[in-house]
Chains A and B, each alone.
Chain A
Amino acid sequence: AQSVTQPDIHITVSEGASLELRCNYSYGATPYLFWYVQSPGQGLQLLLKYFSGDTLVQGIKGFEAEFKRSQSSFNLRKPSVHWSDAAEYFCAVGAPNDYKLSFGAGTTVTVRA
């Protein structure tokens, strides 16, 4: 079964600074990978996803993620953070022919002025 690790529980960044959130997965083949964001009191919103093809994926809100098979990673990045990016970020992994998603523990992002 697939699993995912988000090593960073909490990250604080200054507004305008770059942001990188780490995600490592465990799966024997190429998984389906997702990044979701959860703002306080809200549900989950999909930022981006990767299934195959170009390993650099562009998402909404200026986010991108890069799939690195050799490192079993799918790190999320944003060049310049806005105060509205303060939220909880979840990496999730799924697999072909398996509808179950496994979520990481999440990373809380705080943006300071």
Chain B
Amino acid sequence: SAVISQKPSRDICQRGTSLTIQCQVDSQVTMMFWYRQQPGQSLTLIATANQGSEATYESGFVIDKFPISRPNLTFSTLTVSNMSPEDSSIYLCSVEYPGEEDYGYTFGSGTRLTVV
């Protein structure tokens, strides 16, 4: 399975600013996913990022608020824009790794964001 390096691991940001989260994978993957985990909650899919195409956003998430880049098959970024305290969450990236025996999803260690 793939190994994901996600950074920053945590940050405290002022409201109204933006934060870009990076996700680096140690192998080429087709599909990368960004999730949000609000305090005490489960994971909610924000968007799916494929290389060479626009990200696909889930209901309730928009590109202006969560712009995503996917410049190549091993890297993606998620930006949380114009932040408010409600954006305080853990943000996780994930990749799908295909294969008969190995199929599944790997997650990064997450970015714990606090907006003050």
CA distance A108 to B2 in the complex (A): 27
Interface locus among A18-26, A66-74, A75-83, A96-104: A96-104
Q: Does B43 sit at the interface, judged by CB under 8 A? A: yes
A43 shortest CB reach to chain B, Å = 4
Chain B nearest Cβ from A106, distance in angstroms: 5
| CB of A37, distance to nearest CB on chain B (Å) | 11
Q: Please report whether the interface of chain B is mostly helix, strand, loop or mixed according to DSSP.
A: strand
B106 close to chain A: CB less than 8 A: yes
Q: How many residues on the A side are at the interface (Cβ–Cβ under 8 A)?
A: 20
The 8 Å CB contact of A103, one of B1, B42, B48, B106, is B42
* B96 close to A (CB within 8 Å): yes
Beyond A90-B43, A99-B48, is A34–B104 a contact (Cβ under 8 Å)?
yes
Contacts of A49 in B (CB 8 A): 103-104
The A-contacting residues of B in range 31-60, CB under 8 angstroms, are 31, 33, 41-45, 48
B contact residues, range? 20 to 34
| Interface membership of B109, Cβ < 8 A | yes
Whether the pair B106, A100 counts as a contact (CB closer than 8 A) is: no
Distance in Å: Cβ of B98 to nearest Cβ of chain A: 10
Contact of A36 with B42 in the complex, beta carbons under 8 Å: no
- Interface positions of B (Cβ within 8 A of A): 1, 6, 31, 33, 41-45, 48, 92, 94, 96, 103-110, 112
Taking beta carbons and an 8 Å cutoff, which residues of A are in contact with B? Answer: 32, 34, 36, 41-46, 49, 51, 90, 94, 99-101, 103-106
19 extra A-B contacts, CB within 8 A, seeds A42-B110, A100-B48, A101-B45: A32-B103, A34-B105, A36-B107, A41-B112, A44-B43, A44-B107, A45-B107, A46-B106, A51-B103, A99-B31, A99-B33, A99-B48, A101-B33, A101-B105, A103-B44, A104-B42, A105-B41, A105-B42, A106-B42
